[in-house]
Structure 1
Amino acid sequence: MISQNTPLAVLKPKDFASDQDVRWCPGCGDYAILKQTQKVLANLGSRRENTVFVAGIGCSSRFPYYMGTYGFHTIHGRGAAVATGVKIANPELDVWLVTGDGDGLSIGGNHLMHALRRNVGLNIMLFNNRIYGLTKGQYSPTSEQGKKTPSTPMGSIDPPLSPLSIAVAAEASFVARSVDVDKSLTDVLETAAKHPGTSLVEIYQDCNVFNHEAFAYATGRRGFEKEDHVLRLEAGQPMIFGKDRDKGIRLTDLKPEVVQLGDGVSEADLLVHDPSDHCLAFLLSRLRHPEFPEPVGVIYAAEKPRYEELVAGQVAEARERRPDANLRDLLHAGETFTVEA
């Protein structure tokens, strides 16, 4: 038996790995996310017995098998509903939801949206590879128009969804983005985990089998200089980007535009990032490559009442009002009838 005064061992990233062989396709971006997540848990001082990973269906949803924590592999698109139940039943748990652009934005879009607006204390990682990988390469809700796949041989005619725009519009209290192999991912996940409420981090993830290098511009592959295509957000700092930090984002007539610093344009003319500005967050969620660099980092963060706390408060109030109430009386209240043999 462990005494309350017994110091707990400091866990390392490897302590959060399970004994299962990690089985994704060689070169899959999920490997990098897994390693960084284990590092984040160690940095945060998380406890394995107090941590739960919930997932739906998809390549990303194998995540719970590879974590040396509690885990719950649910059904397609229902991870957010199960994670919400876990958090309400035991608010002391650190609950992570791992989902993908297919699992979370198609069949699971309704559940994800309501988890975000309720502000349940969940850390949501949404892997976005713009393809259905597990079912062999069909187009997904985030695939670009014109995408040719087995299910759209002539090219997709559907406009893509923006996970960040959906999250901001659904009144999420924390919205961020990173890239599977980017140096920012660890910091972004740590910040998200510390947020009191729902955090959603969209992670650009390479499916090297069915949609390889879809985000080459954000990873520096295929000859791209990634700093020319990524806008690294810092609170209170002007929106500057580029390998030589010589470009910026300016607002003109309420519309964002890319400008070159110098020749009459200075840092004072640029937009300054304010993570608490909801309107600015939506604007940032609409910046898309190749016209704009894509924002990486914390898009929006605000403190709001947490759903599990509101539920607990309502339950306490109900018990105070009716201390003698019981479930049998509730089920037999109102109009009832008896069926006799």
Structure 2
Amino acid sequence: MNDRLDCSKESVAVSLTRKDFESEQDVRWCPGCGDYSLLAQIQKLLPQLGIARENFAFVSGIGCSSRFPYYMDTYGMHAIHGRAPAVASGLKLARPELSVWVVTGDGDALAIGGNHFIHAIRRNIGLKIVLLNNRIYGLTKGQFSPTTELGEKTKTSPYGNIDRPFSAAALALGAGATFVARVVDTDLAQLGPILARAAAHPGTAFVEVLQNCIVFNDGAYAALTDKKQRDELRLVLEHGQPLRFGSNGERGIRLAGLRPEIVSVAGAPGVPEGEGVALSELAVHDESDPHGSLAFLLAQFAAPEFPLPLGIFRAVAAPAFEDMNAAIEDTARQQRGAGDLASLLAGGDTWTVA
């Protein structure tokens, strides 16, 4: 987006700072919007990746979150509603060496853009897709979105929303995502490292950021950020560790066959002596599970029955679409020689319509 950047030149190793990624545009989100948190964390992360600034590109669709490319001093595009994954996919195929990021919202990605979203993930093309989920249409002033909770009163559901909401993480996992994570916008200790893991992941990396809309859906995640109760409502996922939650880890998730159940953990503070189950009986999180069965199960968890899982659900290796596409191109060139666009357009079957 900046004329002074020229990605036609070979990149050189340079020392970058957060300031290098801050554009001259005034940031125009509402005071208190969760989008500020993501912007700050990405601008902090990019200088650490060892990638030249001209080799980053940010693509967005339509919505409050989709103003993101304006605020990054990199290449980028403010595309049309829901089509950011399609535009970004074309860019990644044409310039596979670029680090291509898609910043989207729950309406942009999961409503009009749902088809593009799932197919980008299905292909495992090397995009970093960050979905800011505020459970509402913010830019168009407060209509319910695909993630709005049941019963929620909005501009377009004055008697309560009757659409069952998507779990964005479950949708991504169902599409075969190789990297899926969820984090709260204000949890900087978790947000930064998760974005770093996503940036390093080959193939599609999907990060859902639970983000507060202070104007049209303020407090949507208040319980998850309230220090007095958040430990009881969050299930923080750690690879190789038992699934535990509570202020003292006194509760956990055990699997009874394929059915999860909440149990007390024997020996944990607050659990009476002789009660609870052994730590060894709890389910253990495995983000590298090739089948992703437990990850998909966890993505279905929702209040009030279960705590909400946060962290990395899945991170597995699989061939990236752009690498397979490059291999096909190489094979075609070896077998048929260099392409000739004029011959291609003029060749083949032609006919005249009188």
TM over 0.5: yes
TM-score class, shorter: over 0.9
1:256 aligns with 2:270: no
Q: Identity percentage over the alignment?
A: 54
2:128 aligns to what?
123
Alpha-carbon distance, 1:333 to partner: 3.6
Pairing 1:77-116 to 2, within 5 Å after superposition? 77-116=82-121
* 2:205 equivalent among 199, 206, 209: 199
Deviation, structure 1 residue 59: 0.3
Listed as ranges, the gaps of 5+ residues in structure 2 are: 1-8, 267-274
* Pairing 1:1-341 to 2, within 5 Å after superposition: 8-182=13-187, 183-220=189-226, 224-262=228-266, 263-277=275-289, 278-323=292-337, 326-338=340-352
CA distance in 1, matches of 2:194, 2:95: 25
Deviations 1:54-106 (A, max 9, x none): 00000000000111111110000000000001111101100000000000000
Q: CA deviation at 1:332?
A: 3.6
Distance in 2, matches of 1:267 and 1:179, equals: 27
Report how far residue 7 of structure 1 moved.
7.7
Q: CA deviation at 1:316?
A: 1.4
Find the aligned partners of 2:215 and 2:338 in 1 and give their Cα distance: 61
Q: Deviations over 1:178-215 (max 9, x none)?
A: 11001200011100111011000000000011101101
Contact 2:13-2:52 within 8 A present in 1 as well: no
Distance 1:324 1:86 in 2: 21
Taking the aligned partners of 2:222 and 2:251, their CA distance within structure 1 comes to: 20
CA contact (8 A) 2:253 2:260 kept: yes
Show structure 1 runs of 5+ residues with no match.
none
Cα deviation per residue 1:240-268 (whole Å; 9 max; x = unaligned)? 11111211111113111111112141211
Separation (CA, whole Å) in 1 of partners of 2:326 and 2:121 = 18
Contact 2:263–2:276 (Cα < 8 Å) also in 1: no
| Structure 2: distance between partners of 1:129 and 1:178 | 12
Q: Distance in 1 between matches of 2:182 and 2:300?
A: 13
Amino acid at match of 1:232: V
Give the length in aligned residue pairs: 334
Query: How far, CA to CA, are the matches of 1:291 and 1:133 in structure 2?
Result: 28
Normalising by structure 1, we get a TM-score of 0.94
Looking at structure 2, the residues matched to 72 and 83 of structure 1 have their Cα atoms a distance apart, in angstroms, of 9
Instruction: Please report the RMSD computed on the Cα atoms of aligned residues, expressed in angstroms.
Output: 1.7
Name the SS for the 1:191 alignment partner.
Answer: helix
